[in-house]
Structure 1
Amino acid sequence: MTVQDPNVVATSGAASAAAVAPAGKAADGVAVVTATGEIDMLTAPDLRADVLGRIDETPGAVVLDMTGVSFLGSAGLAVLVEASQHAKRRGTAFRVVAVARAVTRPLAATGLGDVFSVYGSVAEAVSADDGASAR
């Protein structure tokens, strides 16, 4: 196992890695978290820690940019559900950016695409006017 970056967890295969970039402020009260690679049972805990932490720190909205995600497993879906519920309790909007089939297909197959606010770009998600509460 090799780790090239402190935010990257590598598993047995070279392609089985996910990274969570530090969140940046895209606009007033909006934090953007970027996830890349595979979100599976080994990498989901890192995503969970970062997203829930950003929700705790951000009063307006947290945007999870998943445009660079190549695989979204059940552990990743569980993180999305938990993040959405956590955001709702805190009165923070939780928005997901998903365009790749690797993310949109599991969301559609599980019906979660109707539960989250899903956008086609970070710009759309950041500028969305859905108040301060997630759906």
Structure 2
Amino acid sequence: MTVQDPDVVATSGPESAAASSPRAGQIGLTVRKVGEGVTVVAASGEIDMLTAPQLRAEVLRHLDGGDTLVLDLSGVSFLGSAGLAVLVEASQHGKRRGTAFRVVAVERAVTRPLAATGLGEVFSVFESVDLALGADGPR
């Protein structure tokens, strides 16, 4: 019998087809450098109290590296309070380090909690990665 961690999304092998669309309770993270000092982290799936620590670790790692960070949440199907807390922490962390932190949010599952909490006004939110990459200066 094989036991698999339900929070791990396969990135190779027969299960990798599911990596592009994580199951409930899972998060997919893709990281790519798009230029000197600019990183895009794309998240997909659900960001809740179980998956937020993974997102937090990845986001803070890149902010600590001094990169401008664009967090693409366009593939996120649920954003809970733990995910919102990660965004607030990342924004504050970026400000302390003088590093730009930008969020891409297009799905209602993400835009609704941002609007309801007023957090959409706290940090830079864009409708696409291209718009986020074209923005000037940290916020």
Q: Tell me the TM-score range normalised by the shorter chain.
A: 0.7 to 0.9
Structure 1 counterpart of 2:118: 111
Q: Answer whether contact 2:47 2:79 (CA < 8 A) is retained.
A: yes
Structure 2 counterpart of 1:19: 28
Unmatched segments (≥5 aa) in structure 2: 12-22
CA distance in 1, matches of 2:49, 2:25: 11
Q: How many residues align?
A: 123
Q: Answer whether contact 2:9 2:27 (CA < 8 A) is retained.
A: no
- Residue correspondence of structure 1 range 46-125 to structure 2 within 5 A: 46-59=54-67, 61-125=68-132
CA distance in 2, matches of 1:37, 1:57: 25
Runs of 4+ in 1 over 2 A off after TM superposition: 1-6
Query: Shift of the alpha carbon at 1:64?
Result: 0.1
Percent identity at matched positions?
A: 65
CA distance in 2, matches of 1:123, 1:16: 29
Over the aligned positions, Cα root-mean-square deviation in angstroms equals 1.4
Unmatched segments (≥5 aa) in structure 1: 7-13
Using structure 2 for the length normalisation, give the TM-score.
0.83
Query: Shift of the alpha carbon at 1:27?
Result: 2.3
Q: 1:4/1:31 Cα in 2 relative to 1: closer, same or farther (>3 Å)?
A: closer
Query: Shift of the alpha carbon at 1:121?
Result: 0.4
Query: Shift of the alpha carbon at 1:73?
Result: 0.1
SS in 2 for 1:78: helix
Q: Which has the larger radius of gyration?
A: 2
CA distance in 1, matches of 2:110, 2:79: 6
